[in-house]
Amino acid sequence: MEWLQQQGQRILDFFQDLYKAELFKLDDGNYFTLDLFLKLVFYAVIAYIVGRLIGRLISKTILNRFKIDRGTKEAISSVIGYLIAGIGFLIVLRGTGIDLSSLTVVAGVLGLGIGFGFQNVASNFISGITILFEQPLKVGDLVEVDDLKGIVEKISIRSTVVRTLDNIFVIVPNQKFIENNIINWSYRDQKCRVHVPVGVAYGTDTTLVTEALLAAARKHPHVLPQPSPKVWFKEFGDSSLNFELLVWVDDPPSIPQFKSDLNFSIEIELNSRDINIPFPQRDLHIKNIQDLIPLLQGAGNLTSKNSTSVDSDAIENTNSNLRTQSLRDLLSQISYFQSCTPRQIRELIEQGYRQILQPEQVICREGDPGNSFYVILSGSVEIYSEKLGKHIVNRHAGEFIGEMALLMGIPRSASIRTNEQTTLFVVDHTNLQKLLSHHPELADQISAELATRSESLASLGILPEKIDSEQGMFKWIRQRINTLFEI
């Protein structure tokens, strides 16, 4: 028993000696011991925790008062936390009596060891510092690296946490983001363009396809009006005419769901216009076709019984389609678009959209900003003054409305409402600029129409004094349109 106590005491003395062993001597005469090392590690952990807490506190109390995005706030709070932790550790070193200048040799030896033994750790550490300061990606950004695509949730010194679109968290070493090509969908500008491929059957009217795709795009609430949607005819495929719908969105993380919703809308628009999406086609060559003639004749007798009902349904569907005119046909009936080529009509459809309104529906009100130009495709509207409580004039199919406020850069001078079910072709300010650039004759017709309304323009106080003829009025209006729309 006594022998066991002696052995136990020896072991305890050994660890006590090891704990207080002088590992090496510092320049100031002090010795670096294991005891001092463990204390430094403990105080370093405390300094790190305090620094992180202060960084988060600053983020929640101070940075939230400013209009700073989430990623920038996270980067600022992280940098502040690491700075406070580093300063705290230096203060601890001074407090324990260690002369910082005496650590230069030790730091050099440790740095050399870390360089060889912990290359990846050091590389990730430096990469993390680079990411925090340069901010090529921030918390909340949608990024794509290699085969990984997701949202940045956290950026630390060693690694970055990315949440995939399937809500799976992936820890990625920071070195990956420095050495590889990174796609950052949210960098500087959230707005990005989405490509949606669509194939239709050969023989389909390409202008009708353009109208259908643009209609689907403009009905989707997440599609940005500017830049306006576009349709590209990509190629003549093996079994289809291949198009591509290009739209702009400002919420990159929602793009997968957005494309699904848009595909549903495209399918509805194509079906409403009887546009078919083809199956892959193959040619079948039959060597002994004579043997199949009796079988085909028998099948013909069976199908002839139902031919009458099928033909009647086809006729009814055809009549129904004839009653539903395409936007191309409606625009071609307008006098100043009748001379347009099919290509010009297709470009025209890209600049605006069709709007169907019910009777007594208000299109715009007196005093509203003039941000849209309308062409009446069918039906009629009433222009009236709400302030004066009187009717001004009716406009019918083939005429344009809302042009005075938009083209003169003034608020609406009157209100407009429909007299019956009315179809309008609506063009906003930006697209009207393109429209007038491509169709200068339309600007001439609008100027000529406005020149006949000198009393209305005079009542608004925007006419110069030295205009004494309708021709002078026309030139002044035409020049004002050129100036406002930079054409």
Q: What is the DSSP string of 199-258?
A: EE-TT--HHHHHHHHHHHHHHSTTS-SSSPPEEEEEEE-SSSEEEEEEEEES-GGGHHHH
* Per-residue pLDDT, 70: 60
pLDDT at 361 over 80: yes
Which sign does the torsion angle of CA 144, 148, 150, 156 carry? negative
The CATH architecture that domain 18-117 belongs to is: Orthogonal Bundle (1.10)
Checking if the pLDDT of 304 tops 50, the result is no
H/E segment holding residue 363: strand 362-364
pTM: predicted TM-score of the whole model, two decimal places: 0.58
* pLDDT value, residue 167: 86
Instruction: Sketch the domain layout of the chain as residue ranges.
Output: 18-117, 142-184, 192-272, 330-485
When mean pLDDT is compared across 184-198, 203-217, 298-312, 434-448, the lowest value belongs to 298-312
293-309 average pLDDT score = 53
Over residues 58-117, the pLDDT tens digits come to 777 776 676 665 656 666 677 677 777 777 777 766 666 665 555 554 555 455 555 555
Domain boundaries 330-485, corresponding CATH code: 2.60.120.10
**CA 7 to mean position of chain CA atoms:** 74
Instruction: Identify the H or E element spanning 378.
Output: strand 372-378
Please say if the pLDDT value at position 270 is more than 80: yes
Question: What pLDDT is recorded for position 63?
Answer: 66
Q: Rounded distance, CA 25 to CA 32, Å?
A: 6
Least confident of 304-308, 401-405, 434-438: 304-308
Could you tell me where the beta strands, DSSP code E, fall in 89-191? 142-145, 148-155, 159-164, 169-173, 183-184
Higher pLDDT residue, 337 or 150?
150
The more confident residue out of 314 and 68 is: 68
pLDDT at 402 over 60: yes
Q: Which of 52-61, 263-272, 377-386 has the lowest mean pLDDT?
A: 52-61
Q: Which CATH class is domain 142-184?
A: mainly beta
Q: Do domains 192-272 and 330-485 have the same CATH topology?
A: no
184 Cβ neighbours under 8 A, 6+ residues apart? 136, 137, 141, 142, 143, 144
Average pLDDT of span 295-319? 49
Show the tokens assigned to 325. Answer: 């005119």
Residue 353 — pLDDT band, cuts 50, 70, 90? confident
The pLDDT value recorded for residue 318 is 37
Answer yes or no: is pLDDT of 300 > 60: no
| Strand pairing report for 31-33 and 148-155 | unpaired
Mean pLDDT of the chain, nearest integer: 77
Q: Taking a C-beta distance cutoff of 8 angstroms, is the pair 427, 415 a contact? A: no
Q: Calculate mean pLDDT across residues 471-482.
A: 81
Position 322 confidence tier, pLDDT thresholds 50, 70, 90: very low
pLDDT in tens, 226-259: 888 999 999 998 889 999 999 999 888 888 889 9
pLDDT mean over 173-199: 85
Instruction: Reply yes or no on whether the pLDDT at 169 is more than 50.
Output: yes
Fold topology of 192-272:
Alpha-Beta Plaits (3.30.70)
